[in-house]
């Protein structure tokens, strides 16, 4: 199954996000070996050169490291993974806040709205 | 030398009509390149010049430093728009034909791909649908270990599911230093596998860019850009 990639954004950036997502969600555990560039490219239905570029970038950030002969591995640095998770969460929250600001909501109103939503969700479940 | 293809002031006219005008182009090894343009823009003419089926009116085309001829045919694998195989042939016959012709043909690779696409090698081409025939042809072309593949409309006649398989076949079957030129109208289907795209119109190159550059700089897909550039 090809990866679900948007056609409007650079492919390699989306590959990076997808692999980060797979690390966060536990699809790849710390220390896991990544499939080969070819296999990943084939799975994602993208050009191997693009996959290579994305992996090189992941290597640069330290999230993935290469071992000369045996391939690429996910970092074992759990703190780094946690940090990335928080960075991505912050980005999502910032985007959300921007959208809410466009709708004219102030911070406190947003918090109230979230609390209210949570309450009604709970009631529904009970 | 890292250029697999070089065109220098390449011009081709049919009588008074100019199909290609002063094309200068050089392609690196190890890339997948989309040759994109509206109907009648000169895509097939360019591919035929590369394959020595047409002779330039002016300028020259060099493949791995050589003018098209016997030596370049050994390293260029060409998928034409139309089939040239006799329809009395079975797939087995066609494979033997290719084995005879091309030293770099990998028989086991061909049978492997046929199996994955559920094509019976003893079937005759005559009995096959248009799409299946196209798949056979592409399998033959991709089973060569060539340095340059020229695919003229490789996926036009096959259904979307088979398109995906064919594209993954292309990705999986070219050597790292081989170059693939794909001419097509079905841009959205292929753009994820392309490194670079060449837009051509009225026999001239309008744009050469990498797919990610287009997306990054313009925030749109190659397909979107194509529709904008070539709006009728």
Give me the tens of pLDDT residue by residue for chain B, a chain 232 residues long.
578 999 999 999 999 999 999 999 999 999 999 999 988 899 999 999 999 999 999 999 999 999 999 999 999 999 998 888 888 999 999 999 999 999 999 999 999 989 988 999 999 999 998 888 988 999 999 999 999 999 998 888 788 887 888 888 788 877 888 999 999 888 888 888 999 999 999 999 999 999 989 998 888 899 999 998 888 7
Q: Which of chain B's residues have a Cβ under 8 Å away from the Cβ of A8? A: 215, 219-221, 224
User: Does the distance separating the beta carbons of A7 and B224 come in below 8 Å?
Assistant: yes
Cα–Cα distance for residue pair A46/B165, rounded to 1 Å = 12
Q: How many CB pairs under 8 A join A and B?
A: 59
Predicted confidence band of residue A75 (pLDDT cuts 50, 70, 90): very high
Count of CB atoms within 10 A of residue B70's CB? 8
Cα–Cα distance for residue pair B44/B50, rounded to 1 Å = 10
The whole-angstrom distance between B117's CA and the closest CA on chain A is: 16
Residue B157 exposed, middle or buried by CB count within 10 Å (0-12, 13-18, 19+): middle
Residue A4 located in a structural domain: no
Domain total for chain B? 1
Strand partners, B12: B20
**Do residues A65 and A32 touch, judged by C-beta distance below 8 A?**
no
Claim to verify: residue A61 and residue A15 sit in the same structural domain: yes
Cα–Cα distance for residue pair A101/A110, rounded to 1 Å = 9
Q: Could you list the residue range(s) of the whole structural domain that residue B115 is in? A: 3-230
Claim to verify: residue A72 and residue A87 sit in the same structural domain: no
pLDDT of residue A5: 85
pLDDT > 90: percent of chain A: 63
With b for 16 or more beta-carbon neighbours within 10 A and e for fewer, the B79-106 pattern comes to: bbeeeebeeebbbebbbeebeeebeebb
Residue A2 located in a structural domain: no
Q: Is A9 on the interface with B (CB under 8 A)?
A: yes
Single pTM value for the model: 0.84
Mean per-residue pLDDT, A33-38:
91
Q: Is A45 on the interface with B (CB under 8 A)?
A: yes
Claim to verify: residue A85 and residue A65 sit in the same structural domain: no
Which residue from A9, A12, A47 is facing B193, i.e. has the nearest CB? A47
Claim to verify: residue A63 and residue A93 sit in the same structural domain: no
Claim to verify: residue A21 and residue A46 sit in the same structural domain: yes
CA distances from A105 to A66, A114, A119, B15, B146 (A): 46, 12, 20, 69, 61
H-only helix segments in chain A: 11-24, 37-44, 48-61, 78-102, 107-125
User: Does the distance separating the beta carbons of A42 and B168 come in below 8 Å?
Assistant: yes
Claim to verify: residue A51 and residue A106 sit in the same structural domain: no
Strands (E), B68-147: 76-79
Domain total for chain A? 2
CATH of the domain at A24: 1.10.10.10
User: Does the distance separating the beta carbons of A7 and B172 come in below 8 Å?
Assistant: no
Q: Is A51 on the interface with B (CB under 8 A)?
A: no
Q: Which of chain B's residues have a Cβ under 8 Å away from the Cβ of A11? A: 192, 211-212, 215
Query: What ipTM was estimated for this complex?
Result: 0.75
Residue A37 located in a structural domain: yes
Residue pointed to by tokens 């293809």? B5
Computed over every residue of chain A, the mean pLDDT equals: 89
pLDDT of residue B1: 55
pLDDT > 70: percent of chain A: 98
pLDDT of residue B89: 94
Claim to verify: residue A16 and residue A33 sit in the same structural domain: yes
The whole-angstrom distance between B167's CA and the closest CA on chain A is: 7
Claim to verify: residue A100 and residue A67 sit in the same structural domain: no
Q: Is A36 on the interface with B (CB under 8 A)?
A: no
User: Does the distance separating the beta carbons of B219 and A49 come in below 8 Å?
Assistant: no
Q: Which of chain A's residues have a Cβ under 8 Å away from the Cβ of B221? A: 7-8
Mutation site, B167, B180, B193, interface A, largest A CB count within 10 A: B193
Residue A120 located in a structural domain: yes
Q: Is B15 on the interface with A (CB under 8 A)?
A: no
Which residue from A11, A13, A38 is facing B192, i.e. has the nearest CB? A11
User: Does the distance separating the beta carbons of B221 and A7 come in below 8 Å?
Assistant: yes
Residue A45 located in a structural domain: yes
The whole-angstrom distance between A38's CA and the closest CA on chain B is: 7
CATH of the domain at B105: 3.40.50.300
Claim to verify: residue A17 and residue A63 sit in the same structural domain: yes
Residue pointed to by tokens 């003229």? B152
Residue pointed to by tokens 């993208």? A46
Claim to verify: residue A70 and residue A83 sit in the same structural domain: no
Claim to verify: residue A54 and residue A99 sit in the same structural domain: no
Claim to verify: residue A62 and residue A16 sit in the same structural domain: yes
Cα–Cα distance for residue pair B79/B4, rounded to 1 Å = 18
Q: Could you list the residue range(s) of the whole structural domain that residue A68 is in? A: 11-76
Q: Which carries the bigger pLDDT value, residue A125 or residue B227?
A: B227
């Amino acid at each position: 199954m090809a990866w679900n990639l948007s056609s409007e954004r650079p492919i390699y950036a989306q590959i990076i996000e997808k692999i980060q997502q797979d690390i966060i969600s536990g699809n790849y555990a710390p220390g896991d070996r990544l499939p080969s560039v070819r296999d990943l490219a084939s799975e994602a239905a993208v050009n191997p050169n693009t996959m290579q570029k994305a992996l090189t970038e992941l290597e640069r950030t330290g999230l993935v490291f290469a071992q000369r002969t045996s391939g690429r591995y996910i970092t074992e640095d759990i703190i780094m993974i946690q940090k990335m998770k928080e960075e991505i969460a912050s980005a999502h929250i910032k985007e959300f806040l921007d959208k809410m600001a466009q709708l004219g909501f102030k911070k406190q109103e947003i918090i109230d709205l979230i609390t209210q939503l949570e309450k009604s969700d709970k009631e529904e479940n009970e | 030398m890292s250029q697999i293809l070089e065109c220098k002031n390449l011009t081709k006219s049919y009588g008074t009509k100019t199909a290609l005008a002063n094309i200068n182009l050089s392609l690196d090894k190890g890339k997948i390149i989309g040759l994109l343009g509206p109907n009648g823009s000169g895509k097939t003419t360019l591919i035929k010049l590369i394959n020595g089926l047409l002779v330039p009116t002016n300028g020259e085309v060099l493949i791995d430093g050589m003018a098209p001829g016997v030596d370049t045919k050994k390293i260029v694998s060409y998928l034409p728009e139309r089939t040239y195989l006799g329809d009395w042939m079975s797939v087995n016959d066609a494979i033997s034909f290719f084995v005879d012709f091309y030293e770099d043909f990998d028989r086991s690779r061909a049978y492997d791909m046929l199996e994955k696409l559920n094509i019976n090698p003893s079937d005759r081409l005559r009995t096959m649908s248009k799409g299946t025939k196209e798949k056979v042809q592409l399998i033959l072309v991709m089973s060569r270990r060539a340095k340059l593949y020229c695919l003229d409309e490789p996926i036009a006649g096959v259904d979307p599911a088979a398109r995906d398989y064919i594209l993954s076949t292309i990705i999986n079957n070219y050597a790292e230093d081989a170059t693939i030129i794909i001419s097509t109208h079905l841009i959205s289907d292929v753009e994820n596998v392309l490194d670079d795209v060449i837009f051509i119109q009225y026999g001239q190159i309008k744009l050469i860019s990498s797919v990610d550059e287009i997306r990054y700089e313009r925030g749109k897909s190659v397909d979107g850009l194509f529709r904008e550039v070539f709006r009728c």
